[in-house]
Chains A and B, each alone.
Chain A
C-alpha cells in the first residue's frame, strides 16, 4: 500500500506542475502543453523521475485547484492585446516561436546519419488489467490508449511499409495474442477495437514470454521490438521475471515501455537491459507524443540483425476487366489486383506475402517511403535577426513559401538557411521540410547539387 500511495503522490505532483506550465503559457492547448512538456525534457529515454525530484513539494499549501489559480492569481484575460486596427492579436508569438525552436532542436539531434533498422517486427503489448479502467484519462485509460494505438499503427505503416506489427493484450494475469504479425493496419485496428474490456492483474513476465516465443520465429534480418503500454503499478508473475528479461536480452529484442501511472523499477530495468526507451505519460497529449516517437525507425545496433538479401517481387497491376480468384479472400474478383511474378496468383493489395509461393510482394513506392530515413535533409542553420534592417544579403521572402521575412516594422524576423544551397526559409517551412517533406526546395532547385545521370 505504501508503494501505491507514494507513486500516487508523485503523479499528483506532476499533474500540478503541468497545470502550472499550462496556465503560464495561456496558449492554445496543443502548443502550450507541448511547451510545458518540453520543460520536462524531451522524454527521449530520460526517465521522468529526474524532473519529479526537481519539483519542489509545495503541494501542502494548495487550497485552490490549479485551474482555479489560473483565474484568481494569473488573470489570463489581461494579457490579450489589440493591434492597430482594433483586432485581437493572436497568442503571444514568442511562445510559438520558442516552441518551434525547441522542436527544431529536437529534430537536429535525430537528423544525423545513423543506420536505422528499417525492417521491423514490432509487438504492441497493451495492458488491459484492472488499472486500465482508471479514469484519470478521460473516458478511461483503456479507451485513450486504444485511440492512440490506432493512430500509431497507421503512422507506423506509413513510415515503415515493409515492417509488421502484432498485438498482445494482458488481461487476468495472462497474455493473449490479439493478432499475429501482419502488415495490414485495418485487421489490427479491428481486432483491437473488438476486445476492449479490462479486468484482473497485469503480468509482465507472461507478456514477455509470449512475445519472445513469437519473435524467435522471424527472419534474422528483421529488427525485433516490443512496445509495452503499461497502466498497472505491479506485475503478477508465475516465475522469475529477471530470467525472462535476460532471455529477451539474449534474443536481441528491444523492449520499450510507456507507463501510464507511475515509474516502475522493473520496467526501467527491462528497458535498460534491452536498450529500449522508458517514459511515463503525463496526459493524453504527452501519451500521443510518446507513442508516435516510436514510429520512425530507431537506430540499429549492428549485431542485432544480420544484413541479408531478401527476395521480393514487384507485381504488375492486373488488366482491368479480367475475372480471377484472389488468393487472399478465395473468391472471384473482377478487375484490379496484382499478379505475383513468380506463381501468377492474384493478390488484392500491397504490400503482402503471396499465399501460394511465399514471395514478399511490394511496389516501388513502398520502398521509396523509407528512403528519406537513409537520406535525411541536413538541419538548417539559424540566422540571427540582426538589428540592421534590409540587409542586402537577405532575401525578402522565404524561398519555399514566399512568406515575407520582414515583419511590419521592416525588421528581419528569425529565419533559417540551408548550409548547402544557402537559401533562406521561414521557421514554418523549416519544420515542414524536416518533418514531412524531407527535401530541401533550394537544393532540389539547383542543377549543381544534382548528380548528372
Chain B
C-alpha cells in the first residue's frame, strides 16, 4: 500500500477503492513525517480566453506561454514526491478541470494536459453565442475560483494528512464587473479556510480583483515585466510552498485600491452614501434607493425623523 493509498483510506469508501487501484503500490507505508510542512497542492487557474490571447494586449503567444507554464508545473512536481497539481481552465463561456497530477500516467503528463486543454477550448468556443459575446472579453474567473475552492474543501475532508493547498491564478483578461460579488465571496471563503490566492497577471493592465484577492488572503500578486522569462518569475516567486515562504523576500503588495465604485455611475469614489437596507453605494444623495426601493428618511408607520443622525460620542 503506497503513500496515496494509505492516506486515502480515511476518505469515503468509494474513492478509497478507486485510488488504491489506480496507483502502483510500492509496499512501504509512508510515515506521517513525509506529509511534512512543505508538501503542496497547487491549483492553477489558467486563462484561456481567446479574445484576450488573440488581441494585442497579450504580450506573448499562447503556445509560448503554455510551454513556460508546463515547465513550471513539472518543476513543482519534482520538488516533492507528494506534491500535487490541478489545472482548471478559465474560459470565456465555461470552466473545467483539465489536469490532475494524481491520476494518469506519469510519463505522459504533457500529452494528457494538452489534449484535455484542446478539448476544453473547442467546447468553450462552441458555447459562443453571437449575440452575447461582449467585446470586453472577461473570462469566468469566479467560476474557476469556486471550483478550486470546492476541490480544496474535499482535500481538507480527506483527513489529517493532506498537502497544503494554494491557488495560483494565471490571468490576462480584464475584470468583469458582473463577477465582483462572486469573486469577493470566493475571496472571503478562501480567507476563512486559510488558502492563499497568488496572482500572476499577464495582460497589459493590473487587475484590481486579483490585487484584492492576494492582499486579503495573504498571497502574492505579480505582474511580470519581461514575459520571455516567465518561467523564471514563476519558479522564484510562486514555486515555493507555504511553509518556506516565511524565509523568502517575495514581492510585497503596493497600493491596493480599496475604494468602491458608486452604483449609479460606476466611478470610483472615496466618500459616498450607503443605503442602510441593501448597502448599495451612491455618490449623491437620493430620495429613493434604486436597488431595494426603500424611501430614505421616512419610517413606515411612526413619526418621521431627520435624515442626519449622528451617533452621540
Chain A interface residues (CB < 8 Å from chain B): 83, 87, 89-90, 93, 115, 118-119, 158, 162, 217-222, 300, 302-303, 305-317, 320, 341-342, 353, 358-359, 363-365, 367-372, 374-375, 398-404, 406-408, 413, 428-429, 432-433, 436-441, 444-448, 450-453
Q: A453 with B310: in contact, given A306-B298, A312-B274 (CB under 8 Å)? A: no
Name A's interface SS. Answer: loop
Residues from chain B with a CB closer than 8 A to the CB of A446 are 93-94, 140, 143
Q: Smallest CB-CB separation from B90: which chain A residue? A: A445
Partner of B151, one of A363, A369, A372, A402: A402
B279–A367 touching, CB < 8 Å? yes
B279–A372 touching, CB < 8 Å? no
A309–B270 touching, CB < 8 Å? no
Residues from chain A with a CB closer than 8 A to the CB of B279 are 118, 162, 367, 370-371, 374
Q: A317 with B185: in contact, given A306-B305, A308-B297 (CB under 8 Å)? A: no
Closest CB-CB distance, A329 to chain B, in whole Å?
18
A115–B95 touching, CB < 8 Å? no
A439–B277 touching, CB < 8 Å? no
Binds A, one of B104-112, B162-170, B253-261: B253-261
Number of interface residues of B (CB under 8 A): 89
Q: Is the C-beta of B192 less than 8 angstroms from some C-beta in chain A?
A: yes
Complexed CA–CA distance, A371 and B95 (Å): 24
Partner of A404, one of B18, B255, B270: B18
Residues from chain B with a CB closer than 8 A to the CB of A372 are 181, 185
Q: Is the C-beta of B278 less than 8 angstroms from some C-beta in chain A?
A: yes
Partner of B186, one of A158, A306, A308, A439: A439
Residues from chain A with a CB closer than 8 A to the CB of B151 are 400-402
Q: A309 with B309: in contact, given A316-B259, A369-B188 (CB under 8 Å)? A: no
A303–B274 touching, CB < 8 Å? no
Closest CB-CB distance, A451 to chain B, in whole Å?
5
Contacts A364-B258, A401-B154 aside, 18 further interface pairs with beta carbons under 8 A come to A115-B292, A118-B278, A221-B309, A307-B289, A309-B285, A314-B259, A315-B270, A316-B257, A358-B311, A365-B187, A371-B184, A400-B146, A404-B14, A436-B192, A440-B146, A441-B146, A445-B144, A450-B176
List 9 contacting pairs A-B, 8 Å CB cutoff, sorted by A: A219-B309, A308-B309, A317-B256, A369-B188, A400-B146, A444-B140, A445-B94, A445-B95, A453-B134
> Lowest 7 A-B CB distances belong to which pairs?
A400-B150, A445-B143, A307-B294, A221-B276, A441-B146, A368-B184, A444-B143
